[in-house]
Structure 1
Amino acid sequence: MGCEIHTIVDIDTDNMELNSMDTVEMPIFGSTLKLMKFWSYLFVHNWRRYVAMAPYIIINCTQYVDIYLSTESLDFIIRNVYLAVLFTNTVVRGVLLCVQRFSYERFISILKGFYIELLQSDDPTISLLVEEATRLSVFISRINLLMGCCTCIGFVTYPIFGSERVLPYGMYLPTIDEYKYASPFYEIFFVIQAIMAPMGCCMYIPYTNMVVTFTLFAILMCRVLQHKLRSLEKLKNDQVRGELIWCIKYQLKLTGFVDSMNALNTHLHLVEFLCFGAMLCVLLFSLIIAQTIAQTVIVIAYMVMIFANSVVLYYVANELYFQSFDIAIAAYESNWMDFDVDTQKTLKFLIMRSQKPLAILVGGTYPMNLKMLQSLLNAIYSFFTLLRRVYG
């Protein structure tokens, strides 16, 4: 995978450390890479990642055992299923980052090279496009972190508004009755789980923000290429061919960038596609059987967080899909009739390459876009309707 990534650029990534911009400090990532570095998932490799990962893996295993052996009411079982799937998704993200950390770091270094290249451009339009992409990426990361914090609060406060004595999320603890009133076990585990919630948020949300930023940067590259192609008509005839060759090389970089991004994330996208469907279906059912208004509000908050995270990811992937189509439109709008025959043939080659859209793939097969999300939501609603009929 590392070899794949290195083939998409013609810049010297080994000398990037000479640049004054630290990789972690790239403005387009906001605080995402700082959180990754703090928990040592990327750029730093020490004990912090194991402090964050090990307890979550253990708790996730006990969650499934607790669900299997549970004698609690249906609403708590369903909520525990949601949380178990969410924890599984979180653990998968953390494990993937640990296993492929060097591939991610190389990929981010490549993105840094492209980002610096755009920042150093003298073209005011490109500078404006970079500024817009950076602002949007930072805004999305902040919103996602805010929703993650709200969800962590929901984890902790949900049991307080219930009619039964339960922990924020189920755990199977052999030989220990954590709900016994005369023992301090309930309070101890409640505090432990309250502390664990934000740690999980630091694994779940930053990964989503990072993937969204990758996709936003690919969209930025598409828009830069469109701008360059539309600007061909402003150049002199002897300059057009050189600029067109630059556009073709940049298109190859863009294609390689998206291919490398798919190589890193496509299988995780499939896991998250399945997890998202399961969690949203469970939450819709939990909304019906919620016992109090407070629990209803918290379940809605869960749904908003999960749905918003996924919709943002699918929306930017959908935008990349259509922005890559617009490259061909921009090339056609470049007043190509005034170019010489050789230049027209070269431009036609670029247009033909643009007919195959760039797509974020799910499982290496299906393009991630809003149409796919709509199909998933239709299936979820059908399954939810079936559950509602069965359980009244």
Structure 2
Amino acid sequence: MGCEIHNIVDIDTDNMELKSMDTVEMPIFGSTLKLMKFWSYLFVHNWRRYVAMAPYIIINCTQYVDIYLSTESLDFIIRNVYLAVLFTNTVVRGVLLCVQRFSYERFINVLKSFYIELLQSDDPTINLLVEETTRLSVFISRINLLMGCCTCIGFVTYPIFGSERVLPYGMYLPTIDEYKYASPYYEIFFVIQAIMAPMGCCMYIPYTNMVVTFTLFAILMCRVLQHKLRSLEKLKIEQVRGEIIWCIKYQLKLSGFVDAMNALNTHLHLVEFLCFGAMLCVLLFSLIIAQTIGQTVIVIAYMVMIFANSVVLYYVANELYFQSFDIAIAAYESNWMDFDVDTQKTLKFLIMRSQKPLAILVGGTYPMNLKMLQSLLNAIYSFFTLLRRVYG
């Protein structure tokens, strides 16, 4: 094993009791880290990651060749483009985890230490905030996995509703005619692709869940900081300055946490921003040219899955953006008029630092928020309208 896993403190999300547990079993991650460990992307480094990645890289290459050489109908070509881009996104996520696995593991261990610190707090409000965040993270993880499973079912069942004999997703196989009725190739490749679909889901969805959990924890840190600042009036005058200094240090931890998260994910966010736009535009066009009700239903299911995954990510990033602003508001709402001049200056320093919002960045430049998502959707709709006019 490339990285030693140590026992840490566990939390039961029902009664908040502390007990010994393993890093990958942190309740705020749900089953995400367990899946990452099973496929040996994180915390375990063995052959499983290559068994998972190698077939997908090969299939993804054959998909693009198949699209280039395809003579199938337009609806199947468009669907194959969507699946090829989706597979590319899955492969990029897997490669990134393999290349930067130690950086991700260090980052998760930092999150673990912050998480334990909050769990051990004697403040019931902080305990409640931790419990709410944990449950929300687990709920989002389960919903994403459920949608991923539904999409896998759509991959396999879509060809049943087609007017031609096709595989769940296109593949170029030189010297092999997989659609020949007298040969077993079609059935063999159909079974292989049916098996590969859930494997891809187990690589694609957990990464999204992990990034969402990172962001939710940053939001939790913002809310803890706001609570501490709003509680200054309950402290004795001589304790206030020390508490403000603690808040400034915690704000620095929070800022460093978000910076480290951006260093890990910002370029992938740019790739996924472009992929999301391409896939959603292709699916909208597929919805127009779908030939049967079954195909229409499955295309809608694809759209719901890809849209929901992205909206959740953009929503929590948007929430972090504004929660970081609320730190300054919480500081101002304290009874700062009763503090001495030096304490007021210290609090002012914290407020000034809070004027720069914390943001998840796309490509290291643009903040990920709902405004950015709206701009992307507007561009997608304009492009979709153009395609509809061209192809009638």
Class of the TM-score when normalised by the shorter of the 2 chains? over 0.9
Distance 1:188 1:9, change over 3 A: closer
Q: Give 5+ residue unaligned stretches, structure 2.
A: none
CA contact (8 A) 2:11 2:18 kept: no
Distance 1:10 1:152, change over 3 A: closer
- 1:160 and 1:79 map into 2 onto residues whose CA distance is 14
1:14 to partner: Cα distance: 30
- 1:35 and 1:9 map into 2 onto residues whose CA distance is 20
1:3 to partner: Cα distance: 17
1:253 to partner: Cα distance: 0.0
Distance 1:181 1:5, change over 3 A: closer
Deviations 1:297-328 (A, max 9, x none): 00000000000000000000000000000000
CA contact (8 A) 1:8 1:256 kept: no
Deviations 1:88-124 (A, max 9, x none): 0000000000000000000000000000000000000
Q: Give SS of 1:15's match.
A: coil
TM value normalised by structure 1: 0.96
CA contact (8 A) 1:28 1:135 kept: yes
CA contact (8 A) 1:13 1:113 kept: no
The residue that corresponds to 2:358 in the other structure is: 358
Distance 1:10 1:307, change over 3 A: closer
Structure 1 runs of 4+ with >3 Å offset: 1-19
Distance 1:74 1:12, change over 3 A: closer
Distance 1:332 1:75, change over 3 A: same
Distance 1:14 1:7, change over 3 A: farther
- 2:244 and 2:74 map into 1 onto residues whose CA distance is 63
1:138 to partner: Cα distance: 0.2
- 2:29 and 2:13 map into 1 onto residues whose CA distance is 19
1:79 to partner: Cα distance: 0.2
CA contact (8 A) 2:130 2:220 kept: yes
CA contact (8 A) 1:13 1:110 kept: no
CA contact (8 A) 1:2 1:103 kept: no
Deviations 1:119-156 (A, max 9, x none): 00000000000000000000000000000000000000
The residue that corresponds to 2:326 in the other structure is: 326
- 1:28 and 1:126 map into 2 onto residues whose CA distance is 15
- 2:337 and 2:11 map into 1 onto residues whose CA distance is 34
CA contact (8 A) 1:161 1:295 kept: yes
Distance 1:166 1:221, change over 3 A: same
The residue that corresponds to 1:203 in the other structure is: 203
Q: Give 5+ residue unaligned stretches, structure 1.
A: none
CA contact (8 A) 1:225 1:247 kept: yes
Distance 1:88 1:344, change over 3 A: same
Deviations 1:196-243 (A, max 9, x none): 000000110000000000000000000000000000011001100111
Q: Give SS of 1:121's match.
A: coil
Distance 1:376 1:148, change over 3 A: same
CA contact (8 A) 1:8 1:253 kept: no
Distance 1:319 1:73, change over 3 A: same
Distance 1:266 1:163, change over 3 A: same
1:12 to partner: Cα distance: 24
CA contact (8 A) 2:287 2:299 kept: yes
CA contact (8 A) 1:280 1:303 kept: yes
Distance 1:55 1:4, change over 3 A: closer
1:7 to partner: Cα distance: 23
1:13 to partner: Cα distance: 24
Distance 1:128 1:142, change over 3 A: same
Distance 1:321 1:18, change over 3 A: closer
Distance 1:302 1:362, change over 3 A: same
TM value normalised by structure 2: 0.96
Distance 1:13 1:187, change over 3 A: closer
CA contact (8 A) 1:177 1:185 kept: yes
Q: Aligned-residue CA RMSD in angstroms?
A: 4.2
- 1:66 and 1:91 map into 2 onto residues whose CA distance is 18
1:15 to partner: Cα distance: 26
The residue that corresponds to 1:126 in the other structure is: 126
Distance 1:4 1:38, change over 3 A: closer
Distance 1:319 1:352, change over 3 A: same
1:20 to partner: Cα distance: 2.8
Q: How many residues align?
A: 392
1:21 to partner: Cα distance: 3.0
- 1:215 and 1:75 map into 2 onto residues whose CA distance is 37
Distance 1:55 1:293, change over 3 A: same
- 1:305 and 1:15 map into 2 onto residues whose CA distance is 33
1:185 to partner: Cα distance: 0.1
* Structure with bigger RCO (C-alpha 8 Å, 6+ apart): 1
CA contact (8 A) 2:9 2:19 kept: no
CA contact (8 A) 1:258 1:360 kept: yes
Distance 1:194 1:11, change over 3 A: closer
Q: Give SS of 2:356's match.
A: coil
Deviations 1:257-295 (A, max 9, x none): 000000000000000000000000000000000010000
1:2 to partner: Cα distance: 16
The residue that corresponds to 2:89 in the other structure is: 89
1:22 to partner: Cα distance: 1.4
1:32 to partner: Cα distance: 0.2
CA contact (8 A) 1:229 1:330 kept: yes
CA contact (8 A) 2:6 2:22 kept: no
1:45 to partner: Cα distance: 0.3
Q: Give SS of 1:13's match.
A: coil
